[in-house]
Structure 1
Amino acid sequence: MAKDMFLLWGSGSPPCWRVMIALEEKNLQGYQHKLLSFEKGEHKSKEVLDINPRGQLPAFRHGTNVVNESFAACMYLENQFKSQGNSLIPSDPAEQALVYQRSFEALNLHQKMVDLITYTRRTPEEERHEEAVKRNKEGATAELQIWESHLQKTGPYLAGKNFSMADVVFFPTLALGFRLGLSQKKYPKLGGYHDLLKNRPSIKASWPTHWLQNPPTMDPLKDL
């Protein structure tokens, strides 16, 4: 089964990492994959565009089925291989509702962080508008506080006592946040959650390769 799968991915990309965690959780090791470089623009290559016309990673194919949106790919894997590996979506209606809510809600943090990081990286300092920087920081801070509160109420995982699809979707974004300067002292529940999950086998097995080799070179989230 896994041999019929092909993943084009980029190291450190939360969307790519989500799919890789899901593959590990469903015991689908052995899938075909290829690491591409964002810095070299390889995500815009014909190889990617043939699978994903948007020129984005991940690009995922299972047989003739193509699923490029990372959350959709994770859901596809869970539904196609329900009885294999770890169940990521519970059958209990109340638990399932919370998992779905947190999974979709997790995309908000990803967007808030992207807004802040991309503005800082792509806009020369002399061209930045203080109001835009302030607005992006306030938006990201408010979002982080929501998640700190969620974990205060439900922990140790996002949707309660068991690891679920919500964690698959959320953790890569949070891990990137801590790599880019987010303070565990300011967000102790998120920090504890990060420390708990980073040792999970599926996450350790898919940890971004360049993170293991290189320390972070920027900390745009240190003031959040």
Structure 2
Amino acid sequence: MAKDIMLYWGSDSAPCWRVMIALEEKQLHGYNNKLLSFDKQEHKCAEVMQLNPRGQLPTMKHGDTIVNESFAACMYLESMFKSQGTRLIPDDPTEQALVYQRMFETNNLQQKIYEVAYYGWLVPEEERHESALKRNKENFITELKLWNGYLEKMGKGSYLAGKNFTMADVVCFPVIGFLSRLGCPKERCPRLMEYYEMVKDRPSIKASWPPTWLEKPEEQYTLKNL
């Protein structure tokens, strides 16, 4: 089954990483894959553009089925291989609701990280304002408090949507990994960092760890002054 899957991906990409975690959790080891360089614009190559007109990664093909968005790819893998590997979406509707909520809330956390960590890169110099960066930092800190509160309510040793590792963890862990990678002060997100330390050695995550992080394991400290 894994041999029918082809994944085009890039390192230092939370969306790519979450699909790779899902593949490992569903025991689809040995899937075909091609690592592409964002810096070299390899994700805009003809091979990818034929499958994904946006020229974005991840791009995944399973047989004749093409799935490009990372959330969609993860959900597809769970649906297609439901009885295989880790069950990532529970049957209970109430439990499902929490998993789905945490999954899609991940977009908020990721966006807030980008607005602070990459402000100087995303915003042209002539459009940058100290007040805007300050507001972004305040919004980011509020978001961190929200996620810390979620884990506090769940109790020590819990995952993002309860006692079991679920799709919420698949899609959100890479984003939390970036918090650590970018040097977010632990006092700003103590429970998130506890969660990170608990989950980072999970086999699926170790097997899909970004190669650039293995080559350069030191933190980047972009968020150290948060």
Shorter-chain TM-score range: over 0.9
Give the distance between the partners of 1:12 and 1:82, measured in 2 at CA: 28
1:128 offset after TM fit, Å? 2.6
In structure 2, relative to structure 1, the CA distance for the partners of 1:122 and 1:97 (3 Å cut) is closer
Indicate if the aligned counterparts of 1:5 and 1:63 stay in contact, CA closer than 8 A. yes
TM-score normalised by the chain length of structure 1:
0.94
Separation (CA, whole Å) in 1 of partners of 2:169 and 2:120 = 27
In the other structure, the counterpart of 1:218 is 220
Which residue matches 2:169?
Answer: 167
Please tell me whether the aligned partners of residues 180 and 219 of structure 2 are also in contact (alpha carbons under 8 angstroms).
no
Aligned equivalent of 1:117: 117
1:116 Cα shift? 2.4
The answer to whether the 8 Å contact 2:181/2:219 transfers is no
SS in 1 for 2:38: coil
TM-score (norm. length: structure 2): 0.94
Question: In the alignment, what sits opposite 2:135?
Answer: 135
Paired-residue identity, %: 61
Residue by residue over 1:135-177, the C-alpha shift from the partner in whole angstroms, topping out at 9 and shown as x without a partner, is 2212221111110000001141000111000000110011012
CA distance in 2, matches of 1:124, 1:178: 26
Preserved CA contact (<8 Å) 2:58 2:69: yes
- Return structure 1 stretches of 4+ with deviation > 6 angstroms: none
Deviation, structure 1 residue 216 = 4.5
Q: Quote how far apart the aligned CAs of 1:220 are.
A: 2.2
Distance 2:167 2:126 in 1: 42
Partner Cα separation in structure 2 for residue 180 and residue 221 of structure 1: 6
- Hey, what's the Cα distance between the residues in 1 that align with 2:72 and 2:151? 24
The answer (yes or no) to whether the contact 2:48–2:55 under 8 Å persists in 1 is yes
- How much has 1:28 moved relative to structure 2? 0.4
CA distance in 2, matches of 1:198, 1:104: 21
- The CA RMSD over aligned residues, in Å, is 1.6
SS in 1 for 2:99: helix
Paired residues of 1:7 and 1:34 also in contact (CA < 8 A): yes
Q: Residue 92 of structure 2 corresponds to which residue in structure 1? A: 92
Equivalent residue, structure 2, for 1:195: 197
Q: Aligned residue for 1:64?
A: 64
Which residue of the other structure, out of 199, 206, 213, is the alignment partner of 1:204? 206
Query: Which letter maps to 2:202?
Result: R
1:127: Cα distance to partner?
A: 5.8
- CA change 1:199–1:218 in 2 (3 A) is closer
Determine the C-alpha separation between the residues in 2 that align with 1:195 and 1:41: 33
Report the number of matched residues: 224
Equivalent residues of 1:120, 1:220 under 8 A apart: no
Query: How far apart, CA to CA, are the structure 1 residues paired with 2:193 and 2:6?
Result: 33
Q: Which runs of 5+ in 2 are unaligned?
A: none
Contact 1:180 1:216 in 2 (8 A): no
Hey, what's the Cα distance between the residues in 1 that align with 2:214 and 2:106? 25
- Please state how far the C-alpha of 1:218 moved relative to its aligned partner: 3.5
